[in-house]
Amino acid sequence: MTQKSLKIFDTTLRDGSQSENISFSVEDKLHIAHKLDEFGVHYIEGGWPGSNPKDLLFFKQVKKETFKHARIVAFGSTKHAKNSVDKDPNIKALLDAETPAVSLFGKTWIYHVNEALRVTPDENLTMIRESVAYLKKHGREVIFDAEHFFDGYRDNPEYALACLKAAESAGADVLVLCDTNGGTLTWDIGDIVKKVRKAVKIPLGIHAHNDSDLAVANSITAVRNGCTHVQGSINGYGERCGNANLCSIIPNLQIKAGYHCISEENLSRLTALSHYVSEISNLILSNTMPFTGKSAFAHKGGIHVSAVMREPDSYEHIQPERVGNKRRVLISDLAGKSNILFKSDELGLDLESDKDKIGEIVTRLKELEHEGFEFEAAESSLELLIKRMKGEYPNFFSLQGFRILNEKDENNEIRSEATVRAAVGDKEEHTAAEGVGPVNALDKALRKALMNFYPEIVEMKLTDYKVRVINAREATSAKVRVLIESAADGITWSTVGVSENIIEASWQALTDSISYFLMKRHQHNTGKETS
C-alpha cells in the first residue's frame, strides 16, 4: 500500500519564537533553519519581515544560505483596507524578503472582521483576493493561513468558507485552517475539515494551538479528514500554551497512521533535533516529552524491567531507535553498559576490545550526570571522556593556572583581562589577553599560549556560547552548565562544562573544544582513523 505524503511546515522560528521564554538571535535562527532542513521539513517559516528589524536581518542573511530540501517562508498579513495592494508596506516586505513561498494570513471570523479590522465583510474578501493574486503574480507560492477559521466557521460557516474561496480563486496554493485560540475540540476539528474538504478543490492544511492540550490530536484528526499540509513547531514551542508539537505529530502519523512525512533515516534524528532546539532556545526539555524526552523509553524496577529486557514491545509503543531515542533501564548496570556501547559505536569508538573499561566509564558518566552534565548536545565532550578513560587521548596541553581580572574605570568602561599559564610537554607558556568579557579574554589568552605549538587553532572559531542555570533555587551560588559550539573545516562540534563558578564551567567547555579540534586535526594529519 502506497503511503500518502504530507507536507511538513515548521513555524519554530516565527510562532515558536513568540513563546514567553524564547528570544532567538539571528544566528540562532539560521542554525535551527539548517537543522530543520537536514531533518527534512518541507517549509521553514522564518518570521515576519514587516514586523521587526531582527526578522528583516534574518531574511537578508538567509538569502546567502543554501538549503537542500526546505523552502524558506516569509509570514505576513493581507493588505490594509486603505492601501492599494502594490503600495501596501506589508505586501512589499513579503516580496522584498525574496523567499520562494509566503505564508499570508487573513481574517475568516466575521467577529474579527467587524471588531478588529473594522471593515465590511466584502472589503475583507477583497483584501484576501487582491493580496493573494498580487503575490502569485510575482511568482510566490502562497500558503493562505485562515486565521481563527474554526471559531469563524462555528459563528458563520458561509462567510468563513467565502474567505477560503476568495483565496482559492486568486490562486492560493494551500488553504491552512487555523485554530488560533486553541479552543476547538477534536471531534469538531474532524467534522469541520471534512465539510471544508468538500467545498474547496486545493490542498488543505492545519495550524493548531495547544490551549486545550489538544493541538497534536487536532492536527492528526485534521489529516485523517483531508488535510495534507501540517504546521507546528519543534517541542511545541509557541505563544501562550504553545503550538502543535511536530515531534509528536510526525512519528504518530508516519509510524502509526501510515503517512509519509520525512525519510525513515531522518526520522531517527528526531530526538537529536528536539534536544538541539531546546538547547538553542535555552529551555530545559521535559524528561517526559513524548518520543524525544529522556524518560520517554525509561523503565524502572520490577515487572517492567524484566519484561522489557525480554520483549521490548511489552512496555514500549514503538522502537525508540526509530525516533533516535534509546531505552533506559534505570537500575540496571547491564543497561548502562549497553547504552555506552551503543553510543560508542555511533561515535566510531571501539569499546569491544576494552570491555574492562566499560563499567568504569558508565560509573563516571553517571557521576557526571548527577553533577549536572548532559552530553546529548555535547557529544564531543563525551568522545573526549571515553578516549581519556581508555588512555587513547594525547595530552596536547595542561593548565598550570589562570587568573581573571575585571575592572570598571571612571568612565564606566568595563575591562576584562585573563592571564593563563599552560604547559605543552616540558615547556610552559605564560600569556595575558584582554577580551569582551572574562570568557572571551580567557579564550584569547589560552589561544595565545598555545599558538606557538599549535598554529592551526587560528582556524577554529567559537560560534555559540550558552549558559543554563541548573539549580535556580540556589540563586547566585547555583550550579551552571555552559555549552560551547565551535567550527572549523566545515564542521561544528559542541562541548560542555559544569560548575558553581561560571568561569570554571566555561574553562571546561573551552578547553574541551580546543582539545577536540587538536585531536581530530592531528589524527587527520597523521593518517590515523578519526572517529
Residues 48-90: tens digit of each pLDDT: 997 788 899 999 999 999 999 999 999 999 999 999 999 999 9
Does the pLDDT value for residue 527 go beyond 50?
A: no
Give the pLDDT confidence of 250-290 residue by residue, as tens digits.
999 999 999 999 999 999 999 999 999 999 998 988 889 99
pLDDT of residue 523: 76
Does the pLDDT value for residue 314 go beyond 70?
A: no
3-state helix, strand, coil in the chain (%, to 5): 45, 20, 30
For the chain, what percent of residues have pLDDT higher than 90? 67
Strand partners, 329: 299
Of residues 219 and 335, more confidently modeled:
219
User: In sequence order, what are the residues at sequence separation of 6 or more whose Cβ sits closer than 8 angstroms to the Cβ of residue 224?
Assistant: 190, 257
Does the pLDDT value for residue 530 go beyond 50?
A: no
Cell numbers for 317: 509503543
CB of 249 closer than 8 Å to CB of 225: no
Give the pLDDT confidence of 18-38 residue by residue, as tens digits.
999 899 999 999 999 999 999
pLDDT of residue 70: 97
Q: What is the mean pLDDT of the chain?
A: 89
pLDDT of residue 334: 40
pLDDT of residue 135: 98
Of 5-14, 245-254, 306-315, the range with the lowest mean pLDDT is 306-315
CA atoms of 299 and 335, how far apart (whole Å): 10
What average pLDDT score do residues 216-236 get? 98
Does the pLDDT value for residue 213 go beyond 70?
A: yes
Counting Cα atoms < 13 Å in the Cβ hemisphere of 411 gives: 3
pLDDT bucket at 528, cuts 50 / 70 / 90: very low
pLDDT of residue 382: 86
pLDDT bucket at 361, cuts 50 / 70 / 90: confident
CA atoms of 49 and 97, how far apart (whole Å): 7
Indicate the angle between helix axes 333-347 and 355-371, nearest 10 degrees: 100
Does the pLDDT value for residue 295 go beyond 90?
A: no
Of 158-172, 353-367, 497-511, the range with the lowest mean pLDDT is 353-367
User: In sequence order, what are the residues at sequence separation of 6 or more whose Cβ sits closer than 8 angstroms to the Cβ of residue 461?
Assistant: 486, 487, 488
Cell numbers for 411: 568612565
Angle at 69 between CA 64 and CA 73, to 5 degrees: 60
Cell numbers for 114: 467587524
Please state whether the predicted TM-score (pTM) of the whole model is above 0.75: no
pLDDT of residue 301: 46
The three-state DSSP-derived secondary structure of 167-183 is: HHHCCCCEEEEEECCCC
Among the four given CATH numbers 3.20.20.70, 3.30.470.20, 1.10.3720.10, 1.10.10.10, the one describing domain 4-262? 3.20.20.70
CA atoms of 407 and 47, how far apart (whole Å): 40
What average pLDDT score do residues 216-230 get? 98
pLDDT of residue 454: 94
Of residues 363 and 472, more confidently modeled:
363
Does the pLDDT value for residue 525 go beyond 70?
A: no
pLDDT of residue 434: 92
For residue 306, CA distances in Å to 251, 299, 314 come to 27, 10, 10
Does the pLDDT value for residue 308 go beyond 70?
A: no
Does the pLDDT value for residue 343 go beyond 80?
A: no
CB of 445 closer than 8 Å to CB of 438: no
Closest CA to 238 of 253, 257, 219: 219
pLDDT of residue 333: 38
pLDDT of residue 386: 87
Strand partners, 176: 145, 205
CB of 273 closer than 8 Å to CB of 37: no
For the chain, what percent of residues have pLDDT higher than 70? 90
pLDDT bucket at 14, cuts 50 / 70 / 90: very high
- 48-85 residues labelled b (16+ CB within 10 A) or e (exposed): bbbeeeebbebbeebeeeeeeebbbbbbbbbbbeeeeb
Q: Return the domain boundaries, the chain.
A: 4-262
pLDDT of residue 111: 96
pLDDT of residue 526: 44
Angle at 505 between CA 503 and CA 510, to 5 degrees: 90
Determine the length of the chain: 531
Distance of CA 368 to the CA centre of its chain: 25
User: In sequence order, what are the residues at sequence separation of 6 or more whose Cβ sits closer than 8 angstroms to the Cβ of residue 333?
Assistant: 359, 362
pLDDT of residue 476: 66
For residue 58, CA distances in Å to 28, 48, 70 come to 10, 10, 16
Does the pLDDT value for residue 302 go beyond 70?
A: no
Closest CA to 197 of 234, 219, 223, 179: 223
Does the pLDDT value for residue 220 go beyond 80?
A: yes
CA atoms of 472 and 521, how far apart (whole Å): 38
Does the pLDDT value for residue 335 go beyond 50?
A: no
Q: Give the burial class of 485: count Cβ atoms within 10 A of its Cβ; 0-12 exposed, 13-18 middle, 19 or more buried.
A: buried
Strand partners, 464: 485
What average pLDDT score do residues 431-453 get? 92
pLDDT of residue 255: 96
